[in-house]
Amino acid sequence: MNVGKSEKQEEDFRQTPHVNINPFTPDSMFLHNSDGKCRRRKRIHWNDSCGEDMEPSDGEPEEETMRPAKRITITESNMKSRYATEFHELEKIGSGEFGSVFKCVKRLDGCIYAIKRSKKPLAGSVDEQNALREVYAHAVLGQHSHVVRYYSAWAEDDHMLIQNEYCNGGSLADAISENYRNMRYFTEPELKDLLLQVARGLKYIHSMSLVHMDIKPSNIFISRTSVPSITLEEGDDDDWSSDRVIFKIGDLGHVTRVSSPQVEEGDSRFLANEVLQENYTHLPKADIFALALTVVCAAGAEPLPTNGDQWHEIRQGKLPRLPQVLSQELLDLLKVMINPDPEKRPSAVALVKHSVLLSAAKKSAEQLRIELNAEKFKNSLLQKELKKAQLAKAAAEERALFTDRMATRSTTQSRPSRLIGKKMKRSLSLTIY
């Protein structure tokens, strides 16, 4: 009996498909040991989502054999060009260390997406690890309004392709460059709104026990949507508000766990000093440090240094010189965010509740009201269209009934009229001579 059972387990082992294990999901800790060997664990089957009882008949927990994960390489997942088959490329919208990003329309649904295509070659290289890390992170973190949404990923000819949400406002770095050319910068209310929205995205990322590790303007993306500012009444003209700006965190290639991290240092201009010193005990606070400098860049500061005296001054808690006058309360908040002691920096949770950002939070509430009005406006339009359709249908039915009546009347009048019976009027003509 034992021999037969062993042979059956070996057969099941061979038939188990090879799949990647996402290191950023909680289940990954149960799927493999540090030594990579098979492990056995007790598992009690619970009722599944369909309501079927999966409890063993004897009521005892059963043993399940877990196989070690075999990582699927880029070359093993190659397929016929899905990119060319499913997407029509419109334009190249960016490039960086990882590769290039293209604006594409999907042939099936007609929607626009951003397709990130890695550089070549990838298979077996460090770049492949980073590419897979970004896919893993996107798959776990792509369900928040302030994180760029993830749709799918696949490999073609040693290229990793990632299908993400297309942000029509470009990156924050693009907006800062445009401001620089036009001799302007983000105003204080705009800076507070930027800080609040990105802090909300970081709060979500950190709540998943993950850290971004590469927050900077080129990794913050802008989505602009126009919505009606008020609910329109019957007969009013369309009154559209200015664009609503939503900031989203993207480029998740440096994401790592808070515990047992595998840190890939990001841009040195935004890198906290403790990370450079390989002190990883307060990694979420490194994201806060980078966010402060991101806001400083949006405020119009000169390009940040990659090293040198000014680089060290910033790590000592000194803000770069700004070309505009900001309130002392906002400056104090930015200073504490770059405090040399990471423990003294506020968390993302504390930031979103900070008194300095209350006005921005109220603005967000106002934007929610605007969105609600937009939905009411859409419903109003639909009701108008429905009423028009009902009136048109009623008018068509009335015309058809009128036509039938006229046809019936015409048929009746074409017949000779005959006067019969008591009501027939008689006329007599008498001539007297």
98 is in an annotated binding site: yes
251 is in an annotated binding site: yes
Decide if 251 contacts 224 (C-beta within 8 A): no
Backbone conformation region of residue 9, classed left if phi is above 0, alpha if psi is from -120 to 50, else beta: alpha
94 is in an annotated binding site: yes
Decide if 119 contacts 134 (C-beta within 8 A): no
Per the DSSP assignment, residues forming a β-bridge with 135 are none
**Closest Cα to residue 220, out of 207, 238, 202?**
202
What is the C-alpha to C-alpha distance for residues 259 and 264, in angstroms, rounded to an integer?
14
101 is in an annotated binding site: yes
Q: Where are the alpha helices (DSSP H) in 156-300?
A: 172-181, 188-207, 273-276, 283-298
Query: Six-digit token pair at 209?
Result: 């026990």
What is the C-alpha to C-alpha distance for residues 62 and 43, in angstroms, rounded to an integer?
6
- Name residue, tokens 């990105």: 198
What is the C-alpha to C-alpha distance for residues 117 and 157, in angstroms, rounded to an integer?
11
- Name residue, tokens 């059956």: 8
Query: In what helix (H) or strand (E) does residue 155 lie, and over which residues does it extend?
Result: strand 150-156
Burial 76-100 (b: 16+ CB within 10 A, else e): eeeeeeebeebbeeeeebbeeebbe
What is the C-alpha to C-alpha distance for residues 249 and 144, in angstroms, rounded to an integer?
10
What is the C-alpha to C-alpha distance for residues 374 and 63, in angstroms, rounded to an integer?
55
Decide if 295 contacts 322 (C-beta within 8 A): no
99 is in an annotated binding site: yes
96 is in an annotated binding site: yes
162 is in an annotated binding site: no
93 is in an annotated binding site: yes
116 is in an annotated binding site: yes
Q: Where are the alpha helices (DSSP H) in 103-162?
A: 126-141
* DSSP code per residue over 41-84: EEE-----TT------TT---EEEEEPPP-PPPTGGGB-S-HHH
423 is in an annotated binding site: no
Active site residue 214: yes
Decide if 194 contacts 200 (C-beta within 8 A): no
What is the C-alpha to C-alpha distance for residues 358 and 274, in angstroms, rounded to an integer?
30
Residue of 127, 214, 267, 287 marked active site: 214
52 is in an annotated binding site: no
335 is in an annotated binding site: no
- Binding site for ATP, residues? 93-101, 116
Annotated binding site for Mg(2+): 219, 251
Active site residues: 214
Residues of the binding site: 93-101, 116, 219, 251
